[in-house]
Amino acid sequence: MSVMSERDLLTAAQPVHRMKRSLGPIALMFAAIGSIIGSGWLFGAFNASALAGPAAIFSWAIAAVMIILIGLTYAELGPMFPISGGVVRYPHLVWGSFGSYSMGFVTWIAAAAVPAIEVTGALQYASRFFPFTTAVQYQGATQHILTPVGMVVAVLALALFVVLNYFGVLLFARINNVVVWWKLFVIVLVIVVFLIAGFAMVSNGARGHAGGAANFTDFGFAPKGFAAVFTAVSTAGITFSFLGFRQGIELAGETKNPKRNIPLALVGSVVITGILYMLLQVAFTVMVPTSALKKSGGWINLTFTNDAGPLAALAAGGGLIWLAYILYFDAIVSPADTGLIYTTITARVSYAMGRNANAPKWLAANNKHGVPHWSLLVAFLAGCVLLLPFPSWQALVGFITSATVMSFGTGPLVLAILRKTHPERPRPFKLPGGNVIPYLAFWSANMIMFWAGWGTNSKLLIMLLIGYVLLIVFQVTNRKGYRPPLFFTFGASWVIPWFILYGLVSFFFSADSPIGSLKIGGTTFGDIMFFWVFLINAVVAGFVYWLAVRMRLPKEQIDLYIEDATRESEVEEETVAGGHIG
Please write the tens of the pLDDT for every residue from 240-273.
999 878 766 666 666 677 777 888 888 889 999 9
- Provide the pLDDT confidence category of residue 481 given band limits of 50, 70 and 90: low
DSSP 32-77: HHHHHSSSHHHHHHHHHHHHHGGGHHHHHHHHHHHHHHHHHHHHHH
Q: Which residue has the higher pLDDT, 204 or 50?
A: 50
- Residue 405: the pLDDT is 93
- What is the 3-class SS of 424-469, one letter each residue? CCCCCCCCCCCCHHHHHHHHHHHHHHHHCCHHHHHHHHHHHHHHHH
Residue range 290-319: mean pLDDT, rounded:
87
CB 177 within 8 A of CB 581: yes
Q: Which of 439, 72, 44, 426 is nearest to 271 (CA)?
A: 72
CA atoms within 13 A on the CB side of 284: 30
Please write the tens of the pLDDT for every residue from 128-184.
778 887 877 654 445 668 888 988 998 999 998 888 877 755 555 666 667 778 888
In CATH, what is the architecture of 30-565? Up-down Bundle (1.20)
Residue 507 pLDDT exceeds 70? yes
Give the mean pLDDT of the chain: 83
- Residue 325: the pLDDT is 93
Distance from C-alpha of 310 to C-alpha of 485, rounded to nearest angstrom: 51
- Residue 19: the pLDDT is 47
Q: What are phi and psi of 338, to 5 degrees?
A: -65, -40
Q: Which residue has the higher pLDDT, 247 or 50?
A: 50
Among the residue ranges 16-25, 90-99, 551-560, the one predicted with the least confidence is 16-25
Q: What are phi and psi of 243, to 5 degrees?
A: -65, -15
Please write the tens of the pLDDT for every residue from 28-39.
787 788 778 877
CB 59 within 8 A of CB 232: yes
* Residue 135 bridge partners (DSSP): 144
CB 350 within 8 A of CB 359: yes
Domain layout of the chain by residue ranges: 30-565
- Provide the pLDDT confidence category of residue 582 given band limits of 50, 70 and 90: very low
Distance from C-alpha of 22 to C-alpha of 33, rounded to nearest angstrom: 18
Question: What is the radius of gyration, based on Cα positions, of the chain?
Answer: 23
Among the residue ranges 58-62, 385-389, 455-459, the one predicted with the least confidence is 385-389
Residue range 325-341: mean pLDDT, rounded:
84
- Residue 134: the pLDDT is 80
Residue range 108-119: mean pLDDT, rounded:
84
Distance from C-alpha of 212 to C-alpha of 288, rounded to nearest angstrom: 8
Q: Which residue has the higher pLDDT, 255 or 290?
A: 290
